[in-house]
Amino acid sequence: MTTTYININGDVRDAASLTVPSDRTFREAWAFNEAVIEVDMTKARDIHKNNLRVERKPRLEALDVDYMKALEAGSGADAIATQKTALRDITADSRIAGASTPDALKALTIAVLLGE
């Protein structure tokens, strides 16, 4: 029989004796609470913000191209700049800080945060 262990910050425990979350989205935010593994929401928010940054990068790059084209054409640059600002500010959205569960946090996608 093989024993599976879970290591969280150097604290190693037998997985058979623990209640483990089925969703591993915020695995790096797991913390032991006696025999239960819980998600540390502060760490989960940081992970989610980093995921949003990765997801928004190609959008910002595409808007950079559109912005340069708009500057050359002499119109539309302000609207694109507004879109870029909204994307940059997405990680400061108060709904992220207000999310109290991992599922609530996961539901805050870029589309949701931008109202798309």
Segments making up each domain of the chain, as ranges: 5-39, 41-114
88: DSSP letter: H
Rounded Cα gap, residues 62 and 40, in angstroms: 34
Beta strands in the chain (DSSP E): 5-8, 11-14, 30-33, 36-39
Q: How far is CA 59 from CA 36, 62, 80, 104, in A?
A: 39, 5, 11, 24
Q: pLDDT digits over 27-86, tens only?
A: 999 999 999 999 999 999 999 999 999 999 999 999 999 999 999 999 999 999 999 999
pLDDT at 110 over 90: yes
Q: Are 98 and 107 in contact (CB under 8 A)?
A: no
pTM, entire model: 0.89
